[in-house]
Amino acid sequence: MSNALPKIAWIGLGIMGSPMSENLIKAGYDVTGHTLEQDKLDRLTAAGGTAAGSIAEAVADADVIITMVPASPQVEAIAYGPDGILANARPGALLVDMSSITPQTSVDLAAAAKERGVRVLDAPVSGGEAGAIEAVLSIMVGGEQADFDAAKPLFEALGRTIVLCGPHGSGQTVKAANQLIVAVNIQACAEAVVFLERSGVDLEAALDVLGGGLAGSTVLARKKDNFLRRDFRPGFRIDLHHKDMGIVTDAARTVGAALPVGAVVAQLVASLRAQGDGGLDHSALLRAVERLSVAQV
């Protein structure tokens, strides 16, 4: 690459992808995006990006291709086949998958891309919609050191904590652990909220003081208003956290790691989804605790 900023192709402009791509535009990058929803393409062009009508069109001249889609099947759909990324990216391009998928999918993608002369990093993120908007995401990366070094300026426009965790798939393994911790933390917060309210305590005051002590966490800070206002508009949907809990429980089984609390929370997430709340923010685990809590008579 020359001293000029690399040209970016961005595939997937959802809740996370749209603000992240816009932060790259603000940082001076030339971003061409593709997604299936016209309104998302319109938002990209309004921010100064370029809309592409297909994956092939988006990636043809790109130095770096960034993908942010929901799960492994979507990554495979956009990566493979005659209309996919690998068939249309130029040799030497860097593919950065920022989706949250299985570690094995990332390993397989890297191997397939290598045969095409395309370099790959798996780089899932944590921080939710707010972290994407504010460009303070935590980015956990798997792949080669040289490719990580090349992508780091891009990552610095998107996040604050940026770490190479190991070879291909390592970023996804760390993300799976992240999602385990987040789900258990939200569940604990939800149970505390119901306990506090049923005890007649001023909830806002209680959460303020808890947030300043050892019980404080990024989850509590970010989701406090969701709990207080019962505002479950999706920042990170239950549907996606259900997918991620499946990833971590399957991966843990493969390596022989017991997740007794994680397994219970995975079932609670699945139950909430089965009750029709899959489109809500994962802080809606509070709804499940409320349903389980029997009113005093």
- The pLDDT value recorded for residue 294 is 76
Q: Is residue 130 part of a domain?
A: yes
Structural domain that includes position 232 = 173-292
- The pLDDT value recorded for residue 241 is 97
Quote the mean pLDDT of the chain. 96
Report how far residue 262's alpha carbon sits from residue 181's, in angstroms, rounded to the nearest whole number: 8
The arithmetic mean of pLDDT across residues 200-226, rounded, is 97
CATH number at residue 131: 3.40.50.720
The arithmetic mean of pLDDT across residues 184-207, rounded, is 98
Report how far residue 213's alpha carbon sits from residue 149's, in angstroms, rounded to the nearest whole number: 37
Q: Is residue 287 part of a domain?
A: yes
Number of domains into which the chain is organized: 2
Q: Is residue 2 part of a domain?
A: no
The arithmetic mean of pLDDT across residues 94-105, rounded, is 97
Cα 67 versus chain centre, distance: 11
The arithmetic mean of pLDDT across residues 152-164, rounded, is 98
- The pLDDT value recorded for residue 21 is 98
List, in order, residues 6 or more apart from 111 with CB less than 8 Å away: none
Same domain membership, residue 71 and residue 108: yes
Q: Is 175 a catalytic residue?
A: yes
pTM higher than 0.85, yes or no? yes
Q: Is residue 72 part of a domain?
A: yes
Q: Is residue 148 part of a domain?
A: yes
8-39 per-position pLDDT tens digit = 999 999 999 999 999 999 999 999 999 999 99
The arithmetic mean of pLDDT across residues 213-225, rounded, is 96
The arithmetic mean of pLDDT across residues 173-192, rounded, is 98
Same domain membership, residue 263 and residue 234: yes
Same domain membership, residue 146 and residue 33: yes
Same domain membership, residue 38 and residue 163: yes
Q: What percent of the chain has pLDDT over 70?
A: 98
Same domain membership, residue 210 and residue 183: yes
> Among 168, 194, 225, which residue terminates a domain?
168
Same domain membership, residue 134 and residue 16: yes
- Which of 40, 114, 152, 175 does the annotation list as catalytic? 175
- The pLDDT value recorded for residue 295 is 59
